[in-house]
Amino acid sequence: MSDQSKKKIVREIKVDLDKCIGCRACEVACSGFHASPKYSSFNPSRSRIRVVQDLVNDVYVPLRAGEYTAAECTGRQTFKIHGKQYSECNFCPASCPSRELFKEPDSGLPLKCDMCADEKMPMCVEVCRPGALTYEEREEERADEEPALGEVETGLKSLVHKYGAQKVMDTIARLSQND
Amino acid sequence: MRYAATGFDLEVDLTRGNIERVATDQGLTGQYLGGQGSAANILWDRVPPEVDPFSPKNLLIFSAGLLDGAPVPGANRTSISTISPQSNLYVNSGLGGFFGPELKQAGYDKIVIRGKSDGLVYLWIHNNRVEIRDAGHLQGKSALETATLIRQELNDPNIQVAAIGLAGENRVFQASIEHGNSSASRGVGVVMGDKRLKAIAVRGSRDIAVARPAELFEICNRQYREVYDNPQCGDVFLKEADDSWHVGHTGWSNPPRGFWSEETAKELAVRVERDHVSYQWENYTQEMEEVHETIVEKSEILRGTGCFNCPKNCHLAISLPGERIYFLKNYSRLAYARAAYPDLQLSYDILAAMQNYGLDEFAMPQVVDFVVTLYQAGILTDADLPDFPADSSGRFLYVLEKIALRQGVGDALADGLYQAARSIGRGAQAHERSAKRIEQPPVRLQQASYPYFLMHAVGDKMNITQIEGSFPQMPIPDRGEREEFVAQWDAAPERFKKWFLDWEPGEQLSVEAAVNIVDWNEAMHFSDEALGICPFLSSFRGQYGGRPSYHLHNLPQYISLATGLELDAEGLEAIARRTGLLVRAINVRRGLRGPDEKVPQDLWENRDPGLEQQHLDAYYAFKGWTPEGVPTRETLIGAGLDYVSKDLTARGILTGD
C-alpha cells in the first residue's frame, strides 16, 4: 500500500454562531441546490440546513441534517445558555420521529446533508457572506483497516458482545464435550 | 404553472368566519406584479369611497412581494395596505423579516381580510389548513411575546407571526404591526385592531418554483456578494458615528441636547446595578443564610440581525436591563437622535416601550413633543396631565402609556395629532404639525429644495422619509467627485446624470429636473414595494454613492428569470407608474385634491409660494393630471386603466374632455 492511500480528505463546515445574522440564505441555497432540476424551486422545509432561532434570547444556530434515526432517543439533557434552558433536542441534527425537522415535507423521508457532493464548496457556505459558515478540507491519516472477518468470526463476535467472552467460551466447551 | 407567485390569495371574512383560497388572474401580475401593486388593485375594486375605514367592509391586505421566496437576496418584504382612519386615504406600509416568504411557502401571495370578529382572534395558516383561533389569552401582550406564545401553543418554532400590541387592540391610530425584528408603521395596526385580529401566524412548507433556475441562481449568487460588500447599501446610518445632520435639521420645540457622537455610543453600555437577596442552606445546619449579591445588568448590542435571504445585518438586537430585547430600526434611530434625550439608554427605554405597545416609532416623538409644547404653553394643564413627570424620559413614557391605553388625554392623542389638536382646542391647532392629517417630523432645511418640497407634498406615503432616496439631496461641491459619482451611477437614466453633474452648491435644480426626480423616486419605490425588494438595497440608497444594488435597470432581469415575464426597464417603469396612478385614483376618489398637498410651514425659511405652485403645476402636468391633481382620462387610458377612468367619470370626478 502506498502512503497516499493511507490519507483521506475530510470535508468540514465550521459554524461561528457569533457571526450568524439569522438570514437563512443557507436554507434557500440548499433547498435550491437539491431541487430537481437544480435551482428550479426553493423551500426551506426541504433544506438540509436550518437556522434554529430564538430572537428573544438572541440564539441563532445553523444546524445541518445528520443521521436518520428510527426511534426517539432517551436523552433528556438540558443546557442552560445565558440563563435560558434548552433541551439537547433543540440543537440535535438527527432526522427523528419526534419532530418535523429534516424530513421531506411531502413524503416524510429523512433528509441528510451531503456537503453538496460535487461542488467545490457546499452551497450554504457559498452564500453565507457574513461568514458564519466556513468550509475546510483537510487531509487526515486513514486508520489501518482491520482485516475482514469471516462469517463465523462475525457471528462469534456479536455473541461475545452480547453475552461476554466467558459465557461463550463455556458454551463452546460444553457443546464440544457433548459431541 | 405560475413562477415566483403562488397564484392564490387567502380571503378571510372575520365576521362570518369564512375562509377561502382564491385563484388569481395571471394577467394582473403582468400589470401590477405583486406586493403593493396587486393589493392596490384589490382596494380599488373592492373598497369604494363610501366605505368608512372602520367599516367591516374596509380590507386589510397582507401582500408578499412578487420575488419573496425566490432566491433574490433582499426580496422579503410584505406590503400591508388598507384605508387609514387617520387620513381617510390609502395607506401602505411594509415590513421586512420573514413573513412574506413564509406566506408564499404556505401557498398564498396575499391575505385579504374583511369583516370584524366579535372577540380577539388570531389567524393560523399552515399550508392548506387555515383556522381562526381565540386570542383572549394574548390580550395585552407585546408582539414578541405573542409570537413566542403562539409558537409554544402550536409547537413549531418556525412559525412566523405578525401581531399588534396593546395600542392596536385599543384602536390607537398610530398603532404599528410588528413582526420579529421589523415593524410596519404609519398606522396600519389600528385597522388590524379594529377587526379584532391580534396576530397572523404562518407556516409553509411548499416549493416556490422559478422559471429559469440556473440563470437566476447564478446572478443571485453573485448578488449576495455585491449586497454584502456594498458599503452604500443596508442601513448606512446605523453604525455611523455622526448623525448631526438629522439633529441639526430638525426643529423640536424642546430642543435636542447635542447629537450622536462617539461618547453617546459609549453610553450604550450603561450599567444598572440592583441588590438581590436570596436565602440558602448552609452545610445542612438547618440555618438559613441570607445572601446579598449585586446583580449588574447592562445594555449592549448583541448582534446585527438580517431579514430573510439578505446578507446585511441592519436590525441591531439590543439587550436592555430587565431582560428586555429591542430591535433597532432605522427610522426609530432617527427618532431618538432627533429627540436627543439626556442619555442613550433612556432613548432605548423609550424605543423598547414603543415596540412593546406596538406604536409607530416615528409618529410618537412628534406627539410627545406636541404634548410638552402644549403643557409649556399652558394649553394642557395638570388637570389634563395628572402626575405629569418633570423629566423628559418620565414624560415620554407617561404619554406612551396614556396613548396605548387611550386614557385621559391619551384618548384624544390616539386619534392622531390633527384630530387631537381639534379635540383639545384652546389654540392647540397652532402647535400641530401634520400633512394630510398624518404627523410630520420637524425637518428644517437650510435652504429651499423643490424636489423635497414636491415629494413632501404629493407623496402617497405621507412621510418624507418614505419617499426620498434615489437622487442625492445635496450637490457634491467638487466637480471631479461629481464626475466619479456619475460614472458608476448605473441606476440613473442619462438625463439625471447631466442634471447632477451641473448642479452647483447653492443653486436650485430646474423645475423640469425637480419634477423628473420626484417621478423617478416614486417609480423606484413602487417597483420595490411590488417586488418585495428592500428599499435599503434599492430606492433609498442611490443618494449615497450612487450605487444601489437594485434599480430599474437591473431588476427586470431578476423578474424575467424568476417569473418568466418578459420585461425591460421601460416595462417595469410603466408598471410602477400604473400602480402610482391607481393609488392616486383611490385617493382622488376619497376626496384628495391639489389644495390638500401642503407641506409644514417651517420646512425652510423664506418660502416662495409662487415657485412652489409652479413646481406643483409642472408636476401635475408631467404626470398627466389636471391642475386639481386628478389624473386625466387620457392618462388613465394610456396606462391601461380604462376601468378607473370609467369609474371616475361615473362619479362625476372626471368631466367633459
Find the largest Cα–Cα distance for chain A: 73
Give me B99's grid cell: 413573513
Name the least confident of B342-351, B356-365, B521-530, B566-575: B342-351
A169 falls within a domain: yes
A16 and A44 in a single domain? The answer is yes
Residues of B in contact with A46 (CB under 8 A): 205, 207
Is the per-residue pLDDT at B434 higher than 50?
yes
Residues of A in contact with B309 (CB under 8 A): 23-25, 28
Instruction: Enter the pTM of the model.
Output: 0.91
Work out the percent of chain B whose per-residue pLDDT is above 90.
Answer: 69
Answer for the pair B199, B142: CB distance below 8 angstroms, yes or no: no
Beta-strand runs (E) in A16-77: 41-42, 49-54, 59-64
Q: What's the pLDDT tens digit per position in B557-616?
A: 999 999 999 999 999 999 999 999 999 999 999 999 999 998 888 788 889 999 999 999
Distance CA B72, CA B402 (A): 43
A120 and A167 in a single domain? The answer is no
Query: Best mutation site among A27, A41, A42 for testing chain B: the one with the most B CBs within 10 Å?
Result: A42
For residue B184, the cross-strand partners are B177
A75 falls within a domain: yes
- State the pLDDT confidence band at B443, using cuts at 50, 70 and 90: confident
Which pLDDT value is given to residue B348?
73
Give me B70's grid cell: 425566490
Q: Which residue of B has its CA nearest to A60?
A: B305
Whether the CB of B152 is below 8 Å from some CB of chain A: the reply is no
Average pLDDT value over all residues in chain B: 89
Q: What's the pLDDT tens digit per position in B530-548?
A: 999 999 999 988 888 889 9
Name the nearest CA neighbour of A57 among B269, B149, B164, B302: B302
How much helix, strand and coil, in percent to the nearest 5, is found in chain B?
A: 40, 20, 40
A98 and A117 in a single domain? The answer is yes
A113 falls within a domain: yes
Architecture in CATH of B8-203: 4-Layer Sandwich (3.60)
Is the per-residue pLDDT at B263 higher than 80?
no
Q: Between residues 463 and 522 of chain B, which touch chain A (CB distance below 8 Å)?
A: none
- The CATH label, of 3.40.50, 3.30.1330, 1.10.599, 1.10.10, for the domain at B450-624 is 1.10.599
Name the residue facing A28 among B304, B309, B327 (closest C-beta): B309
Distance CA B162, CA B147 (A): 8
Q: How many other β-carbons are positioned within 10 Å of the β-carbon of residue A70?
A: 8
A22 falls within a domain: yes
For residue B197, the cross-strand partners are B121
Whether the CB of B307 is below 8 Å from some CB of chain A: the reply is yes
Higher pLDDT pick, B437 / B331: B437
A3 falls within a domain: no
A166 and A113 in a single domain? The answer is no
A52 falls within a domain: yes
- The CATH label, of 3.40.50.720, 1.10.10.10, 3.40.50.300, 1.10.569.10, for the domain at B262-439 is 1.10.569.10
Residues of A in contact with B158 (CB under 8 A): 50
Contact A56 B325 (CB under 8 A): yes
Whether the CB of B219 is below 8 Å from some CB of chain A: the reply is no
Name the residue facing A21 among B105, B213, B313 (closest C-beta): B313
Question: Nearest-CA distance from B196 to chain A in Å?
Answer: 25
A75 and A111 in a single domain? The answer is yes
Contact B210 A40 (CB under 8 A): yes
Average pLDDT value over all residues in chain A: 88
For chain A, the domain total comes to 2
A154 and A68 in a single domain? The answer is no
A133 and A170 in a single domain? The answer is no
A122 and A171 in a single domain? The answer is no
Full domain range(s) for residue A31: 8-141
Which pLDDT value is given to residue B325?
79
Q: How far is CA B8 from CA B23, B25, B472, in A?
A: 4, 9, 40
Which pLDDT value is given to residue B340?
46
A2 falls within a domain: no
Answer for the pair B596, B258: CB distance below 8 angstroms, yes or no: no
Is the per-residue pLDDT at B333 higher than 90?
no
Q: Which residue of A has its CA nearest to B127?
A: A105
Answer for the pair B194, B117: CB distance below 8 angstroms, yes or no: no
A124 and A155 in a single domain? The answer is no
Name the nearest CA neighbour of A24 among A136, A115, A129: A129
B230 phi, psi to nearest 5 deg: -75, 110
A131 and A165 in a single domain? The answer is no
Could you give the count of Cα atoms lying within 13 Å of B625 in the half-sphere of its Cβ? Answer: 24
Whether the CB of B372 is below 8 Å from some CB of chain A: the reply is no
Whether the CB of B224 is below 8 Å from some CB of chain A: the reply is yes
Q: What's the pLDDT tens digit per position in B146-184?
A: 999 999 999 998 999 999 999 999 999 999 999 988 999
B21, containing H or E segment: strand B18-23
A179 and A94 in a single domain? The answer is no
Q: What is the ipTM of this complex?
A: 0.90
Name the nearest CA neighbour of B201 among B248, B165, B157: B157
Name the residue facing B311 among A23, A57, A105 (closest C-beta): A23
For residue B300, the cross-strand partners are B319
A86 and A161 in a single domain? The answer is no
B284 CB-contact burial (10 Å; exposed 0-12 / middle 13-18 / buried 19+) = exposed
Domain ranges, ordered by start, for chain B: 8-203, 262-439, 450-624
Residues of A in contact with B105 (CB under 8 A): 43-45
A1 falls within a domain: no
What lies within 8 Å, CB to CB, of B371 at 6+ separation is B380, B385, B395, B399, B409, B413
Contact B214 A39 (CB under 8 A): yes
B321 phi, psi to nearest 5 deg: -55, 145
Q: What is the mean pLDDT of residues B279-295?
A: 68
β-pairing, B110-114 with B8-13? Answer: parallel
